[in-house]
Structure 1
Amino acid sequence: MGHKLVGILLNADMHRGVPRLKTGQESLSNYEEAAAAYGLVPCFLKLADIDTDTGFSAAYIKGANGYKSVVVPTPAVIHNRAIYSKNSPGMQRLLKHYPLIFNTCNRYGKDEIHQLLEKNTELREYLPVTTRVSGLKEMMNLYPDLILKPCRGSIGNGVMRLVRKGAQRWTLSYLSPSMQRWRSIPVNQAALPQALRARLTSVPYLVQERIPLAEIGGRPFDLRVTVQRGWGGDWQVTGLFAKLAAPGGFVSNIARGGEALSSSLALEKAFSRSTAAHIRMSVEILSLAIARCLEQDLPGLADIGLDIGITKDGRLFFIECNGRDQRYGFHKAGLTEIWKDSYRRPMGYARFLIETNSTVYNSY
């Protein structure tokens, strides 16, 4: 064919589903279409099948009869969609041989991201007051509404809320073990329940002031902003959509009953049209500033999803950064072309890396 290869690195479970087209929320057809637009052939890899000694890998490539595993020269440019920390031995080994891997690490602690952004004086005003769980009682003295979240984790797992009801009385809300509904129990500030204390010490937690988010019909929402490098290497906002919390809930994660909406629709329900347009532009400017700040300390960063909260009076707050952006929210919000763009842009960046590195050349 003469088309250049681009690697898409997947976790083993998702990789196993490629020939059956069972890859969860990851769209193989979007990868094929996006890669073809840049003269690339996507090959789907897992770490165990990359032989750094020989320079060859077993990879799934689409043929006339579907996806088959074939042996190919390991692509010199790889987009990491698997979950690896920066200390992963396998990823470190791979980087020694194939340095053009973008989003090499996509699992960062919420505390780590907060500390990096806090160093930037221009971004500091957009950060909620945050501390480690050791400062919980002090935060309870200062703020009437708190969010407790694990430093690591996603889709709302382990998130809790503390709301003051009186001098020493609070209500703790959390997702029940069955993951079917939110539960609330009374808590005495002077004597936190043993179960809560055990949970907070089992894994690292952050404590944040809860931002009074704008609401639609009594349901809070925030914005997911996909920020990616594309052709040319510069950061661009690919798109954004609103995540509306489930009725009675306080987290907006789609996996926790949240609903995906067009950002324009959500903002115009909560604000006037002119205010909504101003907020949207401000969110995009803030998101680009955050991406450019983080890239200074996080090598290989190229594809992230940012959660940005808006208060009822239009103030913006950074909530968290997702190193492996779950792009399917665009699809659920009916934003099909933006969903496809979220695949096109990384493929454009891959082609850019190939073109600007003369030693990179693997064809199929």
Structure 2
Amino acid sequence: MEQRLVGILLNAAAHRGIPRGKTGWESLACYEEAAAAYGLTPCYLKLSDINPGSGYSIAYIKGPRGYKRMAVPIPQAIHNRAIYPPGNAGTERLAACGVKVFNRCSRYGKDEIHRLLELDSELRQHLPDTEAGNEGLKRMMERHSDLILKPRRGSVGKGVMRLRREDKESWALDYLHNGQMITANIDPSRLPFPLLDRIDAESYLIQERIPLAEADGRPFDLRVTVQRGWGGEWAVTGLFAKLAPRGGFVSNIARGGEAAEAALALEQAFSSRAAAHYRMSASWLALAVARCLERSLPGLADIGLDIAITQDGQLYFIECNGRDQRYGFYKAGLPEIWKESYRRPMGYARYLLDGGGMQ
């Protein structure tokens, strides 16, 4: 019987490591188990091997003796797990040929996401105060005493800095360098040129720092994975807590943060009843964000959203990750949810192959 193929579009490093089983945290075994449940065979692609003109691609497919590169018809449903900005010519060309590439873009500017959500009156109240540029930095320093400076297109917490008021005369700039926290005293009347240069180039956003709830003295936020599955509807696959290191302000796992079950972290910060309420509220907010963004971002289907909860129970949207790092579920001791984060996209692929439409 002819195989029904689903494409998994990987970045070059992960694709190169397939024969050696070195694909980082992309679990090919999870893809294969999930795809099989929907009667599909995954084939692993990279963009340069796809030839829309011929209708064929070179792909890795698992056989009895391991992974083999072979020519296959271009799969009509492809899940993008590589990092491409909006308007990438390769993915746009595939879409123009009728291939259903979901999560076509996997890296959005933080300012773009903030702007889209700000248009929604219900979501606006869940956004931190945000500006850009040197004039924006000055205004934010007048309005707030604690700020987060983050790259517009950065990921896994790289390059994030904290600027906080020490007293009337001075501020402190905190940043990570070679895994160590560095603090520099800043004269607000003479901000250092390297900082101003980054801000002036508008490569950074300036946001008020949200006073995060703490579990055992460690600030944390929630990563909520929201995906489309069979039927095409959005659903929350799961969520876990990301705890910052003691004395730190960045909760990203790649920057020294720790993954933990959301319920455990929330119950250390709040009563059991309040913890359950905030867990459901974070899921509601994540779904509302996904439904808002889908109106402007074609092909959106698989995202990880960072949701902050303050010590007094206010919820804030922090960030949208177009290529969700699912391994947090594994590190949090939630292997079934980790596997489910692979199953849902394969269910969505089957839905598309059976004639379902993409939003």
Alpha-carbon contact 2:245-2:256 (below 8 Å) kept: yes
**Which residue in 1 is equivalent to 2:147?**
146
Aligned-partner residue type, residue 156 of structure 2: I
How do 1:32-71 residues align onto structure 2 when only pairs under 5 Å count?
32-71=32-71
Residue 43 of structure 1: how far off its partner (Å):
0.1
**Which residue in 1 is equivalent to 2:322?**
323
Cα distance between partner residues in 2 of 1:172 and 1:289: 34
Aligned-partner residue type, residue 272 of structure 1: S
How do 1:113-192 residues align onto structure 2 when only pairs under 5 Å count?
113-134=113-134, 135-176=136-177, 178=178, 180-192=179-191
Alpha-carbon contact 1:283-1:316 (below 8 Å) kept: yes
Aligned-partner residue type, residue 162 of structure 1: L
Cα distance between partner residues in 2 of 1:85 and 1:185: 34
Cα distance between partner residues in 2 of 1:94 and 1:2: 23
Superposed CA offset, 1:59-87 (max 9, x none): 00000011010111110100000111122
Superposed CA offset, 1:111-132 (max 9, x none): 0000000000000000000011
Cα distance between partner residues in 2 of 1:25 and 1:140: 39
Residue 203 of structure 1: how far off its partner (Å):
5.6
Cα distance between partner residues in 2 of 1:187 and 1:340: 46
Alpha-carbon contact 1:213-1:312 (below 8 Å) kept: yes
- Residue 306 of structure 1 aligns to a residue whose secondary structure is strand
Cα distance between partner residues in 1 of 2:275 and 2:13: 41
- If asked which structure has higher relative contact order (CA below 8 Å, sep 6+), I would say 1
Aligned-partner residue type, residue 103 of structure 1: N
Cα distance between partner residues in 2 of 1:152 and 1:86: 12
Q: Which segments of 5 or more consecutive residues in structure 1 lack a partner in the other structure?
A: 359-364
Cα distance between partner residues in 2 of 1:29 and 1:153: 29
Residue 200 of structure 1: how far off its partner (Å):
2.7
Alpha-carbon contact 2:91-2:101 (below 8 Å) kept: no
Residue 202 of structure 1: how far off its partner (Å):
4.9
- Residue 123 of structure 1 aligns to a residue whose secondary structure is helix
Aligned-partner residue type, residue 51 of structure 1: N
Aligned-partner residue type, residue 316 of structure 1: L
Aligned-partner residue type, residue 175 of structure 1: L
**Which residue in 2 is equivalent to 1:195?**
194
Superposed CA offset, 1:85-110 (max 9, x none): 12222222222214311000011000
Aligned-partner residue type, residue 4 of structure 2: K
Alpha-carbon contact 2:132-2:199 (below 8 Å) kept: no
Distance 1:272 1:145, change over 3 A: same
**Which residue in 2 is equivalent to 1:30?**
30
Q: What is the number of residues matched between the two proteins?
A: 356
Superposed CA offset, 1:116-167 (max 9, x none): 0000000000000001133101110110100000111101111100110111
Runs of 4+ with >2 A deviation: 198-203
Superposed CA offset, 1:6-39 (max 9, x none): 0000111211111111100110000000000000
Alpha-carbon contact 1:77-1:98 (below 8 Å) kept: no
Bigger shift: residues 253-262 or 8-17? 8-17
Residue 198 of structure 1: how far off its partner (Å):
2.7
Alpha-carbon contact 1:163-1:172 (below 8 Å) kept: yes
Aligned-partner residue type, residue 205 of structure 1: Y
Alpha-carbon contact 2:212-2:220 (below 8 Å) kept: yes
Q: Which segments of 5 or more consecutive residues in structure 2 lack a partner in the other structure?
A: none
- Residue 348 of structure 2 aligns to a residue whose secondary structure is helix
Cα distance between partner residues in 2 of 1:252 and 1:307: 10
Cα distance between partner residues in 2 of 1:357 and 1:293: 21
Alpha-carbon contact 1:128-1:209 (below 8 Å) kept: yes
- Residue 122 of structure 1 aligns to a residue whose secondary structure is helix
- Residue 116 of structure 1 aligns to a residue whose secondary structure is helix
Residue 195 of structure 1: how far off its partner (Å):
2.5
Superposed CA offset, 1:232-273 (max 9, x none): 000000000000001221010000000000001110111100
**Which residue in 2 is equivalent to 1:222?**
221
State TM-score, norm by structure 2. 0.97
Residue 355 of structure 1: how far off its partner (Å):
1.0
How do 1:1-364 residues align onto structure 2 when only pairs under 5 Å count?
1-134=1-134, 135-176=136-177, 178=178, 180-202=179-201, 204-356=203-355
Cα distance between partner residues in 2 of 1:99 and 1:72: 14
Alpha-carbon contact 2:133-2:201 (below 8 Å) kept: no
Alpha-carbon contact 2:31-2:42 (below 8 Å) kept: yes
Aligned-partner residue type, residue 166 of structure 1: D
Cα distance between partner residues in 2 of 1:161 and 1:121: 28
Distance 1:357 1:220, change over 3 A: closer
Superposed CA offset, 1:265-314 (max 9, x none): 11011110000000001111111010000000000000000000000011
Alpha-carbon RMSD: 1.2
